[in-house]
Chain A
Amino acid sequence: MSHTIPYDAVVIGVSAGGLAALNRVLPALVQPHFIPVLVVQHLSPESESYLPVHLDLRCTLHVKEAEDKEPLETGTVYLAPPNYHLMVEMDRALALSTEARVNYSRPSIDVLFETAAEVFCHKLVGVILTGANADGAKGLARIKAFGGLTVVQAPETALADAMPRAAMEAVAVDHVLPLEEIGPFLNALMCDTR
């Protein structure tokens, strides 16, 4: 049962090159009762919400767009909707916000990572994938400060390496992994009963 899993949630931040990266990582998550996965992918404000539908078809886990006040469920991947910040509330429900852009981005990876870190503390896994900016670096540092596990895509395997590199500069990252190893690594965490 889930109490043997050392983590309660995974947060993933991804920007330029994100669709290909998510297509690689998310379908690889196949463990039943996988802990909730929260994803911020930078998107243009007008983009249609085809991404959750597309990913849902390819994944074992259920992939959907995050809704305000939605309680977290296992086996589910929540994607931040375009033009809204995604946050985690104290009662572990999801929250959306239209407040100003952070790092020129809404949704911002830092906003998700920072709020999730405070709620899940050391029981959180933070993952930074490909991207051409520095969003997420501060948030990953926050996860580390709360004792959570930090994972970054190896820059040489990223379509855009700025975001992984910025994260590695800000944090003594626990694991730097090539893209294709990230999914299997997260899966293995689900069986880990330290």
Chain B
Amino acid sequence: MENERLEIHLLLEAIYLKYGYDFRRYAATHTKRRLEHRRKMADFSNFSQMQHRVIHDTDFFETLLLDLSINVTEMFRDPWFYKRVREVVFPYLKTYPFAKIWHAGCSAGQEVYSMGIFLEEEGMGDRVQIYATDFNELILQKAKDGIYSMDLIREYTANYQKAGGRRSFSDYYTADYESVIMKRSLKEKVLFSSHNLVTDGAFGEMNVIFCRNVLIYFNRELQDRVLTLFLDSLCPGGFLCLGSKESLKFSGVAHRLEIVSEREKIYRKKRV
């Protein structure tokens, strides 16, 4: 058991030194499960063998990189969350002539387009710049493409309606047989770029930051680093929206944010 932990430690160190991606402060159990999944699939009997392959085979590393990033999300995931955003965040955004929104760890873009749709419905489409970042270039490209499979759209449509959408969800995409592509006007408002929350720095003066179901994959130390990065990137009074089970309760920065909505995990940076 101890040997295995040592091997994982060395593997993560190798990934960092060779490729610059830093998984050393990810939640250990989670990381181990993801690595183990690939180790079994690729039929290695231990992580040291896999480390050799990771170092010498870039394609294999790319596969592992996808394993290590969780990209399970939906449009209007937790519809009640979006409903609440509309109630408490939009009135604040409307007080600004121009606002900036950051989706950190945007995955394949589902939540970015969800927010884009609501901004359009609130008539704020032209007064907002949306930034969407992820560390994984492949996923980021998917987000840019804005193409989603048709069978997902049924679920997304139901979510959109529950979240209080005001039109027909089909107004926002063009469909062919198997997939849909999001409307151009929604894509044009988003600046997609590569940014790694673990190794990169603060990101502009944001009014709202969305980072949902990302922090749960970090250990407490890294979580605090990233929360501090968010605080440094928010203007005073700006909003931070986390995943519905991500509490600040166990973090070291709770005192710098006020709770706006407990269940929805909507916080606001205190004006000091």
Instruction: Give chain A's interface residues, CB within 8 Å of chain B.
Output: 67-71, 81, 84, 87-90, 93, 95-100, 111, 115, 118-119
Contacts and interface: CB of A to CB of B under 8 A. Distances in A.
B249 interface: yes
Contacts of B251: 69
Interface string B49-77: 00000000000000000000010110000
Nearest to A89: B29
Interface stretch (B81-89, B166-174, B212-220, B229-237): B212-220
A118 B28 CA distance: 12
Interface residues of B, number: 24
Given A96-B245, A98-B213, A115-B33, A69 B28 contact: no
A69 B72 contact: no
Contact of B245 (A71, A81, A111, A118): A81
Contacts of A95: 27, 29-30, 216
A96 B29 contact: no
B30 A97 contact: yes
Nearest to B78: A83
Given A98-B70, A99-B72, A68 B29 contact: no
- Ordered nearest first, which 10 A-B pairs have the shortest CB separation? A69-B250, A68-B216, A90-B28, A98-B72, A98-B213, A89-B29, A99-B70, A115-B29, A87-B29, A96-B216
B246 interface: yes
Interface in B237-255: 243, 245-247, 249-251
A95, A98, A118: residue with the most chain B Cβ atoms closer than 10 Å: A98
Contacts of A70: 249-250
Given A84-B245, A97-B70, A98-B72, A69 B30 contact: no
A97 B28 CA distance: 12
Nearest to B73: A98
Nearest to A99: B70
Given A70-B249, A84-B245, 6 more contacts: A68-B215, A87-B29, A87-B30, A95-B30, A95-B216, A98-B73
Interface in B19-39: 27-30, 33-34
B114 interface: no
A84 B77 CA distance: 13
Given A96-B216, A98-B70, A100-B72, A67 B249 contact: yes
B207 interface: no
5 contacts: A81-B245, A89-B28, A96-B245, A98-B216, A99-B33
B133 interface: no
Nearest to A67: B247
Contact of B247 (A68, A98, A118): A68
Contacts of A98: 70, 72-73, 213, 216, 243
B136 interface: no
B110 interface: no
B260 to A, nearest CB: 18
Contacts of A87: 29-30, 33
B251 to A, nearest CB: 8
Nearest to A84: B245
B258 to A, nearest CB: 19
A141 to B, nearest CB: 16
